[in-house]
Amino acid sequence: MVFSSMLYMGMFIPLVLLVYFAVPQNQRAARNGVLLFSSLFFYFVGEPKNLLIMLASILLNYLFALAIERGHRRLWLLLGVVFNLGLLVFYKYTDFLLSNLNRFFSLSLPLSGIVMPIGISFFTFQGMSYVLDVYRQRVPAQKNILYVATYISLFPQLVAGPIVRYETIADELTNRRETLDDTAEGLRRFIYGLAKKMLLANPLGELATIIFSLESGSRSTALAWLGAIAYAFQIFFDFSGYSDMAIGLGRVFGFHFLENFDYPYLSRSITEFWRRWHISLGTWFRDYLYIPLGGNRKGLPRQIVNLLIVWGLTGLWHGAKWNFLLWGLYYAALLIIEKLFLKKLLDKAPALISHLYALLFILVGWVIFNGSSLSEIKVYIGQMFLYHPNVQPVGNSALWYLWQYGAEFLLAALFSLPVAPMLSRRLGGRPWYPLLQNACALLLLVLSLCSIVNTSFNPFIYFRF
């Protein structure tokens, strides 16, 4: 089930909220029970056959954590990591591995046809972080499996993140308090996220899909840029919208998840971009892979190797395709170059130059990310930079699409900037500001609901990860 669906908005959410808040606040276990049951049902709706996989993941991570506390810590940790990675590799990468074995060694191994369970990349990483945190003694192992189950399956962030670490919400699982302020703020955040998804990401995604699927000879240079920008906005508003919905809903239920985005297109370098984009994934890889590998503590050559490993895996985490690996390594290369010398130059350069630099490479990155094949990526990037032999610089269709989607582009550009915090800072003290804030949220809710009924184009990019 996706958040931007009628079943979710017009059935699931009202029912869950009704039942959850009907349970007295001091009945924490019962409220958690409501959350757990709803989360399992939520997953069942989207992946009826794969619910057992998630339940197995919950059970085994629970047992591994308990075992770690009882002795043979390294052994149980190793088993826990192998189990989680094995689960991920089996469901996500089996056919990728087989098809590449066939390709490179001229074999004809049959493909497995395994269908990847939705959200497996997120819930295995959450499960793994729980086991690792217990191993590092940052948190004690949870004795009650229902709490572990609630943590791993919590529906607001189950299928598309943010990747919530156990230590972030360990205390809140057993000891939280839902307040009026949190509920109102959470609902507003949820609505803003829904509006980002329905009113900006979907229409711009439609355009990006049209442009990326054009035959190469039909794409003018202007159109290629427009497609890349549309996709950049689509993925940002899609994913950050979903994160807003997850964080907002979490807050309604009394949880305080960490932020996942911090206006990434404001960045002045790629290093900064990755501090602002998908923060929960970046910090996960930093804390559980980069630092254990030695990080930057073992000399420059080792640091470069570490960066290549971390970013190669970050790319592959997004999907079992070569373009994701390339995308990860592309960022590794940029980060290494910045670490070697460029970052210092960028810090001294005028802001406009460093912003343009970052945006340019981010856009190229999204073309790599969204390309259906390496050859198509090459052609597309070629068209952006005008050296493809069949390409024309501007076409009528680019003008038309700019006209048709101009309002969305403007709004997307505006809301990629910290407009809401700025307004809140400047107007927050005025007596009418909360009223305006609520009125805007209600209007956006109604418009988003209307859009859900109206639209047939409603993909969610991070679901496939």
Partner 1 sequence: MKNKLNILFIALVAGILAALPIGTIFAPKTDTSLFENRTLADPPVLTRETLLNGEFFEGAETWYKDHVVLRDKMLEACTVFQKYMLGKPAVNDILPSEGSLLPVVEPKYAACASDEEVAAAVEQVAALQEAADSYGGKIIYMGVPGQITIFADSYPACLADTPAYFRATGEKFAQALEDAGIEFIDGHGYLNQDMYFRVDHHFGVTGGYAVYEQLCAAASTQAVPQEHFSFYRLPNPFYGSRNRKIYDLTSIKDQLEVFSTDYDLPFDRYDNGEKVESKTLNLPEDEEAIVTEDYMGGDIAETLIQTHRPGLPNLLIYGDSYTNAVECFAYLSFNETRALDLRHYEEMSLCDYVKVHKPDFIVCIRDDGNYINLTGNGTTT
* Site of interaction with partner 1 (CB under 8 A): 1, 5-7, 9-11, 13-14, 17-18, 45-49, 180-181, 183-184, 187-188, 191, 214-215, 217-218, 395-397, 399-400, 403-405, 407-408, 431, 434-435, 438, 441-442, 445-447, 449-454
Q: What CA–CA distance (Å, rounded) separates 127 from 85? A: 10
Collapsed DSSP state (helix, strand, coil) of residue 267: coil
Residues contacting residue 382 through CB under 8 Å, at least 6 positions apart = 388, 391
Residue 244, φ and ψ in degrees, nearest 5: -60, -45
Which residue, 54 or 187, is less far from partner 1 as judged by CB? 187
**Shortest spacing between CB 254 and partner 1, in angstroms:** 14
Q: Which of 278, 318, 355, 388 is catalytic?
A: 318
Which residue, 125 or 212, is less far from partner 1 as judged by CB? 212
Residues contacting residue 450 through CB under 8 Å, at least 6 positions apart = none
Contact 240, 161 (CB under 8 A): no
Q: What CA–CA distance (Å, rounded) separates 425 from 282? A: 29
**Shortest spacing between CB 417 and partner 1, in angstroms:** 19
**Shortest spacing between CB 233 and partner 1, in angstroms:** 15
**Shortest spacing between CB 118 and partner 1, in angstroms:** 11
Q: What CA–CA distance (Å, rounded) separates 286 from 48? A: 34
Which residue, 188 or 343, is less far from partner 1 as judged by CB? 188
DSSP 285-299: HIIIIITTTTTTTT-
Which residue, 11 or 386, is less far from partner 1 as judged by CB? 11
Active site residue 318: yes
Which residue, 97 or 399, is less far from partner 1 as judged by CB? 399
Helix spans in 286-405 (H): 300-318, 322-337, 343-348, 351-370, 374-384, 396-404
Distance of CA 62 to the CA centre of its chain: 25
Which of 263, 163, 241 lies closest to 197, judged by CA? 241
Which residue, 387 or 400, is less far from partner 1 as judged by CB? 400
**Shortest spacing between CB 183 and partner 1, in angstroms:** 6
DSSP 324-340: HHHHHHHHHHHHHHIII
Which residue, 294 or 406, is less far from partner 1 as judged by CB? 406
Which of 88, 198, 212, 78 lies closest to 455, judged by CA? 198
**CA angle, 114 then 115 then 121, to 5°:** 110
**Shortest spacing between CB 448 and partner 1, in angstroms:** 10
**Shortest spacing between CB 141 and partner 1, in angstroms:** 34
Residues that are catalytic:
318
